[in-house]
Amino acid sequence: MRNKLLWGLMTLLSLLTVLVVSRYLTLDPEVFFPEQRAVYLAHLTAVVTHVIGSMVALTVGSFLFLPGLRNRWLALHRWLGRVYLIGNLFGGVAGVYMATFAYGGLMTQIGFGILGLLWCATGVMAYLRIRAGNVADHRRWMMRNFALLLAGVMLRVQTPLLSMAVGFEIAYQIVAWSSWLPNLLVAEWLLRQRPTTVTYTANGKRRTQAVVVHSG
């Protein structure tokens, strides 16, 4: 029950974030926050690529963790996974580029830049692991990747709260790190808690694999 509630909350927040950021696709300068309006207008292609890629990944991501989907409709799981990783790649690469223009100076640029690089790298690792047939490591890298993707959710939760305490500029500098680093640490902690069992289908046969969680 706890896992279902947490999954439901994660999915709800992800979809709400998708709804909020979708207004960027109107290309109306008024929806950009004032401090970055000129930058966004000068780099609209990168902004739109980042927004669409992130929206696709956030919309699909949480459903990939449903055991019923993986075990009963493996073909659908695989296609959704491809869509997710494509969105992840475009969103991450554009995110790295836009990080170089991030509001708040070097601290913010480095924070978002590392996030974008890790976002791309964990997605590539997840893809390589599943292509090699290593389901256990694929799941671990996907969990890390989705934890990083949720930075988009945490940024929108944390920024207004921190802004009330320390002002927007300092809040944004903090959120450039706090929106993703704790997520990644929690993911690593969860991955080390206990062995898991992976059930999957290969060549038409159903198999169960005991997995001892390690650093992957």
- pLDDT value at residue 73: 85
Positive or negative, the CA dihedral 104, 107, 109, 115 is: negative
pLDDT exceeds 60 at position 146: yes
Position 50 in a domain: yes
- pLDDT value at residue 210: 44
Position 66 in a domain: yes
Q: How many CB atoms lie within 10 A of CB 160?
A: 10
Three-point CA angle 148, 66, 186, nearest 5°: 35
Single pTM value for the model: 0.84
- pLDDT value at residue 74: 84
Position 18 in a domain: yes
What is the separation of C-alpha 7 from the centre of its chain, rounded to a whole number of angstroms?
15
Position 45 in a domain: yes
- Structural domain harbouring 183: 2-211
Residue 75 token pair: 């073909």
Strand partners for 196? 211
In whole angstroms, give the CA distance from residue 69 to residue 190. Answer: 21
Amino acid at 109: Q
Q: Structurally, how many domains does the chain consist of?
A: 1
Position 216 in a domain: no
Mean confidence (pLDDT) of the chain: 86
Position 80 in a domain: yes
Going by the DSSP 8-state scheme, the letter that residue 113 receives in this structure is: H
Q: Which of 115, 172, 153 is nearest to 17 (CA)?
A: 153
pLDDT exceeds 60 at position 204: no
Helix (H) or strand (E) holding 201: strand 196-202
Summarised one tens digit per residue, pLDDT across range 33-78 is: 888 899 999 999 999 999 999 999 999 988 888 877 777 888 888 9
Residue 136 token pair: 């256990």
